Chain A
Amino acid sequence: MNPFDVNASIGHWPFQKFDLTTPAALCRHLKKTGIRRALVSCIDSVLYPDPAVFDDILFKTAKAHPMLVPVPTVNPSLSNWRASLRRDSLAAVKIIPNYHRYNLDDPSVAELAGILEKQKIPLLIQMRVDDERNQCPFMKVPGVETEKIIRFARRFPKIPMVCLCPYFGEAIQLAQKTANLHVDISFIETFQTLQTLLKNIPSSRVLFGSHTPFLCAESALMKLSASKIPAKAIEDIALKNAGRIFKL
């Protein structure tokens, strides 16, 4: 089953060399690996001070590629973040609290959540982009803490939220302790990953995410295709949950 990918990005990252720097190249790659459609955000928006600059380019260039669903990265600690939401039909909004250095308890995050709730826009929370153990020594960025995400999700129970790149143990905590948090599978790994994961949380809370181009999409695809979970659970993870949450 060709899945919908909720965790794909495009752009440059100083610690890895990517070929997938244009929407056309990313589309070719996704098609070749068997991914049907993807939520795509801009890698440059992680480190560049104003994410809207690169997001504008993404929204413009992705228009020609219906298989890419652009997602803006919003940094609510900046003065111009409200403008990032003024785009037509947003499938989702992404936040990266650890790289953008704010707390989920901050009033501006609550204001953002209020708008998302009103406009019924789901939220992607990027928990990390790499393995903290291997980070460049002068750029140590710990993952977003699960307890903080759980507290935030409970404050805004009407917003569906998808946490990107949690580890196995974190994913279980996030889904078990809330009703509106979901997880993508990109960083989750243990022996017989999905079988083991679904012993702890229902398939309705798990979504296919590859974290392309940081990670090899084939690892996420094989995690799904080679798993021994029931067909219904595969369908949930590959397509159904994303369809429901992002209305695609």
Chain B
Amino acid sequence: MKIIDIHAHISLESCRQILLEADRLEISHLCNLVGHLKGISMINATPAHIVAMNNQTMTLVRKHPGRITGFCFLNPLHDRRFLLKEIDRCLVKGNLKGIKLEVDANARSSRLDPILKECARLNLPLLHHAWYKTVGKVFNESTPADIAHLARRHPGVKIIMAHLTAAGIRGILDIQPCPNVFVDTSGSQSFSGIMEYAVEKLGAGRILFGSDISGRDFSVQLGRIHGAKINRREKELILGLNAKKLLGI
């Protein structure tokens, strides 16, 4: 069984250690969304920062073919011409396979539309952060309801919503009517019952294993799947088969 982690943050610096640990836990493939770069924040990144972060991901994909898939990180608040240029550089000419958006713009913002149009045109998946936060909400941070809004505007784009355990019951219900929205299993703590509820409402075919490494522990994140009261086939879909299909690997 090939385990694929759809939600990883790997840098050139942390790569060796993360891949060794992934080997130990039998995770055979990782999708690098964006790796940390010293002194650069993912929030409010400048165009120069974005270029540096995407260069890092492209280098990692080149260095570890078949092991790491990379996504292109963008800030939708940047100038449209820059966004399209970066998509062309990383996803048309470069080796990246999808787009990652975080909290710079809310998913309801029309700023995202040119990016999603490119996703549709190039048949690229988008992974978008989401969380139902009671405290500590970042300005513009998206909720699952915001993701559903985005999904309805762009029904032809496959959207992976991050953080199942942070979306909660309400978040699962938000995206249930949108067949183009998938969800990754990362976020918060390994709360019981949520995986079973997601499988019941969305079907295992819409759930993908994600660890949110490097600030997380692969074993804890795998424990959520192993501990869920779902059948073997459902676990296999979540742990790798869905991601294999979605990423075309």
Contacts and interface: CB of A to CB of B under 8 A. Distances in A.
Contacts of A17: 193
12 contacts: A16-B192, A130-B189, A134-B132, A136-B134, A189-B220, A190-B217, A192-B21, A212-B192, A216-B192, A218-B224, A218-B226, A220-B223
B54 interface: no
B224 A132 contact: no
Contacts of B190: 215-216, 218-219
A136 B170 CA distance: 11
Nearest to A137: B134
Interface in A163-200: 187, 189-193
Nearest to A187: B189
A215 B192 contact: yes
B39 interface: no
A96 interface: no
A220 B222 CA distance: 11
A219 B190 CA distance: 7
A133 B163 CA distance: 13
B42 to A, nearest CB: 17
B131 interface: yes
Interface of B: 17-18, 21, 24-25, 131-136, 165-166, 168, 188-193, 213-224, 226-228
B134 A191 contact: no
B227 A33 contact: yes
Given A133-B135, A135-B134, A140-B135, A191 B213 contact: yes
A134 B166 contact: yes
A206 to B, nearest CB: 15
Nearest to A165: B189
Contacts of B25: 226
Given A219-B219, A222-B220, A227-B219, 19 more contacts: A17-B193, A130-B191, A132-B135, A133-B135, A133-B136, A134-B132, A134-B166, A137-B134, A189-B216, A190-B215, A190-B216, A192-B217, A214-B192, A218-B190, A218-B227, A221-B223, A223-B220, A226-B218, A228-B24
A18 B192 contact: yes
Contacts of A133: 131, 133-136, 166, 188
Contacts of A221: 223
A191 B214 contact: yes
Nearest to B168: A134
A73 B135 CA distance: 27
Contacts of A137: 134
Nearest to A196: B217
Interface in A209-247: 212-223, 225-228
A217 to B, nearest CB: 6
B126 to A, nearest CB: 23
A238 to B, nearest CB: 15
Contact of B188 (A134, A136, A218, A226): A134
B172 to A, nearest CB: 13
A145 interface: no
Interface in A90-120: none
Q: Which of A135, A140, A189, A213 has the most CB of B within 10 A?
A: A189
Nearest to B188: A131
Q: Which of B190, B193, B214 has the most CB of A within 10 A?
A: B190
A219 B220 contact: yes
Contacts of A227: 219
Contacts of B131: 133
Contact of A191 (B135, B191, B216, B224): B216
A86 to B, nearest CB: 34
A219 B132 CA distance: 22
Contact of B222 (A135, A215, A222): A222
